[in-house]
Amino acid sequence: MTKNEKKQLETVSLAWFFIKELAKCDLSTHLKTARECFIYKLCVDTLSIRLHKELTMIYSNVKTYYISGGNNTRLVRYDVIKIDSDVFLVKVIEEQNKGNAGPKTLALLEEFEITRDEYKKRYCNSGFQTVIRVDMRPTFEDTILQDLQEHRNKLD
């Protein structure tokens, strides 16, 4: 989760707390007219609707990979969700009750992010160094599969 998303989530959480506290209060004794009560209720409802819309996000750029380990042929599912061009969220999922005829249970083993900042630290040189390369370094998107395979090999 990026710093901006964390700040946005904190703001939204604080606003939800405010709405809940307002809902607990009986302001009818403080509000003089029915019009004031109506405006108060309208403001609270509008704020809660806006916050709900802000929290609802649909990510359509999702890729699923099934990866086996070096010594183990057991497949583990990796769902890679593109949050934005610099951040990918990875959910590691494993099927439970393998071999049973009944419905399979999915267990979330782990969740982590792959960020462009990590890529830059790993593959990009800092400073004014001039380097002649024989091979091309991988792109950010290409390193995602490498990171997933490394993670899968660590599971066994």
User: Which pLDDT belongs to residue 3?
Assistant: 66
- Share above pLDDT 70 across residues of the chain, in percent, rounded to a whole number: 54
* 85: pLDDT strictly greater than 70: yes
pLDDT band at 50; cut points 50, 70, 90: low
* 68 and 135 inside one domain: yes
**38 and 113: one domain?**
no
**Residue 127 belongs to what domain range?**
62-155
Q: Domain total for the chain?
A: 2
Long-range pairs of 118-122 with CB within 8 A, sequence gap ≥ 24: 119/143
Digit-coded pLDDT (tens) for 97-129: 666 666 778 888 999 999 999 988 887 765 565
- The token pair that represents 37 in the structure block: 């009560």
At 106, the amino acid letter reads: L
Q: Tell me, yes or no, whether 11 and 82 share the same domain.
A: no
Full-model pTM: 0.59
Least trusted range by pLDDT, from 5-9, 52-56, 135-139: 52-56
